[in-house]
Structure 1
Amino acid sequence: MIANMSERGLNLLSRLWGEHMRASFPPHMRRREIEGEDMVLLDTEIAGCVSSSLSGPLDERRHQVLLGCLAAVEKVLPLIDDEGGAIEYYERLREMAALAAEIGNADAR
């Protein structure tokens, strides 16, 4: 059952990753901080962890980075204006971070 959950999660993560790679970064989020979070850095860190998780299980350091990013995106998401599709962009980042963390937990069992 865990393998099936992990496989479904991996398929969804792969699809979301493809969408993310085709999406443009919202220009007004460059050089912007919300609640002390650099929005470009948040995107970069989540994308790096997601990319790594699609290649295999995350190591402990990347898993911890991912969990920190997930908390950060949860904190800033309600404060993002929707200019240029920013909410959709960061909601997808949040979903990918949550899936990658969930897949990592399933793989660790």
Structure 2
Amino acid sequence: MPEASEHRTALTDLWRAHMAAPFPPGLRGAERAGIDMVLLDASIAGCVSSWLDRDGSPDTRRLKIADRCVLDLDLDLVLPLLTETEEIAYFRRLRRMAALVSLPEN
């Protein structure tokens, strides 16, 4: 588990990269495994934003959302269904951010 400053730096760096990346056009309005891709993106973005705004202390609701999003991406639901390189990179980054939000900052 990363130390607090490494944790924050990792999440901040991922967030900056995410904010600079366009949403994959082929996934606008799309669902994979019954999961709305735009909503998944927005849910994780809200969790990350809250985590950063609250200095690493998101509320319980945001933690539950982040945990659910990690599961949606991990359990062979979404990531294996993505085929385009940019889609895979975009949602892997989202998965890493959601996982960091879910981890307690030491």
* Fold similarity call, TM over 0.5: yes
Distance 1:49 1:37 in 2: 17
Judge which range, 4-13 or 30-39, deviates more: 4-13
In the other structure, the counterpart of 2:41 is 43
Distance 1:18 1:91 in 2: 15
Distance 2:71 2:29 in 1: 20
Q: Confirm or deny: 8 A CA contact 1:42 1:73 kept in the other structure.
A: no
Number of corresponding residues: 102
Distance 2:70 2:79 in 1: 10
How many Å apart are 1:35 and its aligned residue?
A: 0.7
How many Å apart are 1:106 and its aligned residue?
A: 3.5
TM value normalised by structure 2 = 0.89
SS in 1 for 2:11: helix
In the other structure, the counterpart of 2:82 is 80
Q: How does 1:25-64 map to 2 (within 5 A)?
A: 25-56=23-54, 57-64=57-64
Gaps of 5+ in 2: none
Q: Which has more helix, going by share of residues?
A: 1
Q: Deviations over 1:29-79 (max 9, x none)?
A: 011111110000000000010011011211111110110011112231111
TM value normalised by structure 1 = 0.87
Percent identity between the two aligned chains: 42
State the AA in 2 paired with 1:76.
V
Distance 1:14 1:24 in 2: 17
Stretches (4+) displaced over 2 A: none
